[in-house]
Amino acid sequence: MKRSDKALRIGSILDELYPLPPIPLEHDDPYTLLIAVLLSAQCTDERVNRITPLLFARASTPEAMRKLSVDAIREIIRPCGLSPAKSRAIHRLSEMLIEQHGGRVPDSFEALEALPGVGHKTASVVMCQAFGRSAFPVDTHIHRLAARWGLSTGRNVEQTERDLKQLFAEDTWSRRHLQIIYFGREHCPARSHDLAACPICSWAASGARKREEASRRPAAKQPAKAVKKKAAAKTVRVRRAGSRRAD
């Protein structure tokens, strides 16, 4: 099956499962979305959504965030991980928004990626979800599924983004990004996944890919009785071998 045909079929499945996928990170405006996405690096959305209300109760604008110390920000966001770097980035980018952008989040990739702690994926999320601009954010999960489904070579996230943009219509990029994230969480986990039973992997993944991932799945645990029986049989064989050597 051609990649383009796969993409059409996958898109239909995703639209049926998630017709209006919500943005998983809770926010009120472009600034709070930017901060939430920054905090989500190597952290679950669920945890970020527990922490951001605490942070935004103290500071939900660049002006208010600048008044907090880096240490105060770090103490609040500590559960999200990487708090030393994230707290410095949040404080400095808030200052830069005031100094360079009138306290507003810019709506260009160049300006967003010039902010501390803001990479291309974070900028892409803000561009498409806050400003409705064309972008296809690719995180590690989307990168993994695109390779698993044979939509991309999977060499790096930059190549995956280019491949997905070519395969899916531009006006679907924003929702496809969210749909693939939700599908990965609910149907297509990274580990211990039975590709043959997956609504997409069952037909989209190659036979070689299915065999490769099946070989990496941990073997099912055997009942304790069976394990003991095997151990006892091994002991008997060892004793018999030792007896024959002694003879």
Residue 139 known to be catalytic: yes
Q: How far apart are CA 214 and CA 112, in angstroms?
A: 41
Distance set, CA 236 to CA 43, 228, 233 (Å): 51, 12, 5
Residues 93 and 68: beta-carbon distance below 8 Å: no
Per-residue pLDDT of the chain (247 residues; tens, 9 = 90+): 899 999 999 999 999 999 999 999 999 999 999 999 999 998 999 999 999 999 999 999 999 999 999 999 999 999 999 999 999 999 999 999 999 999 999 999 999 999 999 999 999 999 999 999 999 999 888 999 999 999 998 789 999 999 999 999 999 999 999 999 999 999 998 888 888 889 999 999 888 888 887 777 665 444 445 445 555 554 445 455 444 444 4
Residue of 121, 171, 194, 234 marked active site: 121
CA 30 to chain centre: 20
Residue 2 known to be catalytic: no
Rounded to the nearest 5 percent, the helix, strand and coil shares of the chain are: 70, 0, 30
Q: Would you list the domain boundaries of the chain?
A: 30-131
Options 3.40.50.300, 1.20.140.10, 3.40.190.10, 1.10.340.30; CATH of 30-131: 1.10.340.30
Output the CA angle 202-204-206, nearest 5 degrees.
90
Residues 30 and 37: beta-carbon distance below 8 Å: no
Count other Cβ atoms within 10 Å, centred on residue 58.
13
CA nearest 32: which of 61, 9, 71? Answer: 61
CA nearest 157: which of 174, 177, 175, 172? Answer: 177
CA nearest 146: which of 162, 132, 123, 125? Answer: 162
Residue of 139, 210, 221, 225 marked active site: 139
Query: What pTM was estimated for this model as a whole?
Result: 0.81
